[in-house]
Structure formats: C-alpha cells, structure tokens
Amino acid sequence: MQRIELINSNGMKVLLVDYGARIASILVPCNGELLEMTVTPKDKALLEKDLFYLGATCGPVCNRISNASFSLNGIVYRLRKNDGKNCLHGGENNISLR
C-alpha cells in the first residue's frame, strides 16, 4: 500500500493511501501536540474489512441507488445489489475497495 504524506507550514499532516483513495490520517497541531482528526483503520487488513467506508473515496456514486437501478435518457440501467435491494456507494467493486 503506497502512502503519501502532505505537511503544511503550520505542521498539519495529512496521510493518504492508495487503497480506496483513502485519507488515513489528519494530524492538526494544537497546544504543541498533533491531534488525530480521523477515525480510520490503520492497516490494510482492517481496511479490507471496513464496512463503514472510513476515510474512503466512495464511488463511482455516493449513497444508495434505490432498487439498484436508474434510468437515463429513457434507458434503464441495472446495478449489482450490495445493500439489500439497493446499490450502495457504487456496488461490490467500488473505488474504496481498489
């Protein structure tokens, strides 16, 4: 898993990982300490089991698509169901799992 760390001139740090295009950590300086602002699993094994999309980029759509289908320009598109009868955050092969 690749990691990218961004640090600004005030000492704020953001850690990004390529698994799910996730924000792994946001550390903000406060009274001489760095405070963690995220609730995110810290290793890949836990990320793979994450059911709550913590820190993840959701997609290709966010939220639920009712009945796992939608119509666009008169064409009905059917999606895989992964949340009961709905499609949640892009289905089984969504961005957060890549």
Element (H, E) at 33: strand 33-36
Give the strand pairing for 75-78 and 69-72: antiparallel
Q: Mean pLDDT, to the nearest integer, of 31-46?
A: 88
Q: Are 10 and 29 in contact (CB under 8 A)?
A: yes
Which amino acid is residue 57, in one-letter code?
A: T
At 80, list the tokens: 């895989």
> What percent of the chain stands above pLDDT 70?
98
Structure tokens, 87: 């499609």
Q: pTM of the prediction?
A: 0.69
pLDDT per position as a tens digit, 8-38: 999 999 999 988 888 999 999 999 999 999 9
- Average pLDDT for 46-67: 82
Domain spans of the chain?
1-53, 58-98
Q: Does residue 60 have a cis bond before it (omega within 30 degrees)?
A: yes
State residue 10's pLDDT score: 96
Cβ pair 23, 40 in contact under 8 A: yes
What is residue 55's predicted lDDT score, i.e. its pLDDT?
83
